[in-house]
């Protein structure tokens, strides 16, 4: 892969979100708030902090609210201005000013690989980032930036890796390979959702990637895999064999906001970072650990 700049990020957000029903019957899971900010806004902010110019959101049926979230809310902004709520107005307006957001449709949820392939014509001929719409990483250096830096260094596609306990390996794509340094491996093996006890390592692929445009040709040929879906991991396995693929153990705290427990953890984590919420929340949690209930 040439060292072309990574200026575009694809955010697949077209999944059905069945783990979060009934909420996701009418609300996209990517818009469920972490405290008061939708998950996908944290993700777009991460891309913006990494200098990304264009964000391409792949959405599906019932997901137009995601587009609206990054658009100008003219009526709402007018009312806030008239009522003198400047701070709220500024906060809202800043969202639509953040970056260029392009939306496109995955007409059927045929899998993550298929969602990425849907963005092919908009991505164009350069390497690009992928950030999953329900996967949060709180890090000093934005996680996608860490991957872009690894791509610049190695000139190959990069996937984010995280150590997971053996019993959780069947929930992830698992990567194994030769260590290049303490954070980086040259991937030689990739398995999507291995059966218990068969994972080739404890390194799980997490929702951040920097990929060469050649992945699109690979994905066009990949047959449906686990769950009848076109799996991105299967495309990555081909890439690892043909062009080489790097795994990078990122620095940062990761939350799977598409999972109920991960979502609750994310809410607590981000709430504790807010000065106005920290003390009241800690005080409330203390009452729980002391065996007490909520005071009214
Ligand atoms: P998940 O497997 O977490 O999403 O996919 P899901 O299918 O929505 O969730 P559950 O398991 O039913 O609760 C990871 C990411 O890939 C996107 C999802 O929106 C999510 O951000 N995705 C998945 C697509 O865009 N299209 C698909 O066909 C599948």
Query: What whole-number distance in Å separates Cα of residue 36 and Cα of residue 13?
Result: 19
Residue 129 near ligand 1, beta carbon < 6 Å: no
Per-residue pLDDT of the chain (296 residues; tens, 9 = 90+): 445 789 999 999 998 889 999 999 888 999 999 999 999 999 999 999 999 989 999 998 777 888 888 777 778 888 888 888 888 888 777 777 777 889 999 998 899 999 999 999 999 999 999 999 999 999 999 999 999 999 999 999 999 999 999 999 999 999 999 999 999 999 999 998 899 999 999 999 999 999 999 999 999 999 888 778 898 999 999 999 999 999 999 999 999 999 999 999 999 999 999 999 999 999 999 999 776 555 54
Q: Which residue ranges form the domains of the chain, and what is each CATH number?
A: 3-258 (3.90.550.10), 260-296 (no CATH)
Ligand 1: atom nearest CA of 132 is 21
Question: Radius of gyration over alpha carbons of the chain, in Å?
Answer: 20
Rounded distance, CA 251 to CA 265, Å? 18
**Neighbour-count burial of 208, counting CB atoms closer than 10 A to its CB (0-12 exposed, 13-18 middle, 19+ buried):** buried
Distance, in Å, from the CA atom of 152 to the CA atom of 262, rounded to the nearest integer, reads 31
Cis omega (within 30 of 0) for bond into 70: no
Sign of CA pseudo-dihedral 261, 263, 268, 269: positive
Question: Is 247 close to ligand 1, i.e. is its CB under 6 Å away?
Answer: no
Pocket test for ligand 1, best of 23, 207, 226, 258 (most atoms within 8 A of CB): 258
Any idea of the CA torsion for 264, 269, 270, 276, to the nearest 10 degrees?
Answer: 110
Beta-carbon contacts of residue 130 (< 8 Å; ≥ 6 apart)? 9, 10, 11, 12, 116, 207, 208, 209, 210, 211, 232
Residue 153 in contact with ligand 1 by CB distance below 6 A: no
* Separation between Cα atoms, residue 89 and residue 133, nearest integer Å: 25
Q: Which atom of ligand 1 is nearest to the CA of 11?
A: 21
Minimal-distance CA residue to ligand 1 atom 22: 15
The answer to whether the CB of 258 is under 6 A from ligand 1 is yes
pTM for the full predicted model: 0.91
Q: Are 133 and 40 in contact (CB under 8 A)?
A: yes
């Amino acid at each position: 892969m040439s060292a072309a700049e990574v200026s575009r990020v694809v955010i697949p957000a077209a999944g059905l979100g069945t783990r979060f029903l009934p909420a996701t019957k009418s609300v996209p899971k990517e818009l469920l708030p972490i405290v008061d900010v939708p998950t996908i806004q944290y993700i777009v902010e991460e891309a913006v902090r990494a200098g990304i110019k264009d964000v391409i959101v792949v959405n599906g049926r019932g997901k137009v609210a995601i587009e609206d979230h990054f658009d100008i809310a003219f009526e709402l902004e007018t009312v806030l201005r008239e009522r003198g709520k400047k701070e709220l107005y500024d906060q809202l307006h800043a969202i639509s000013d953040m970056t260029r957001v392009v939306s496109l449709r995955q007409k059927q949820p045929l899998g993550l690989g298929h969602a990425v392939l849907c963005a092919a014509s908009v991505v164009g001929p350069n390497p690009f980032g992928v950030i999953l719409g329900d996967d949060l990483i709180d890090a000093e250096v934005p996680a996608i930036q860490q991957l872009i830096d690894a791509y610049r260094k190695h000139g190959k596609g990069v996937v984010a890796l995280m150590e997971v306990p053996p019993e959780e390996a069947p929930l992830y794509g698992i990567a194994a390979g030769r260590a290049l340094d303490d954070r980086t491996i040259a991937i030689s093996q990739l398995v999507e959702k291995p059966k218990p006890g068969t994972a080739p390592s404890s390194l799980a692929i997490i929702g951040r990637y920097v990929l060469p445009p050649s992945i699109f040709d690979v994905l066009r040929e990949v047959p449906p895999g686990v769950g009848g879906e076109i799996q991105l991991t299967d495309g990555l396995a081909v890439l690892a064999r043909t062009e080489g693929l790097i795994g990078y153990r990122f620095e940062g705290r990761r939350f799977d906001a598409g999972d109920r427990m991960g979502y609750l953890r994310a809410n607590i984590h981000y709430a504790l970072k807010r000065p106005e919420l920290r003390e009241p929340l800690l005080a409330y949690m203390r009452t729980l650990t002391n065996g007490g209930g909520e005071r009214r």
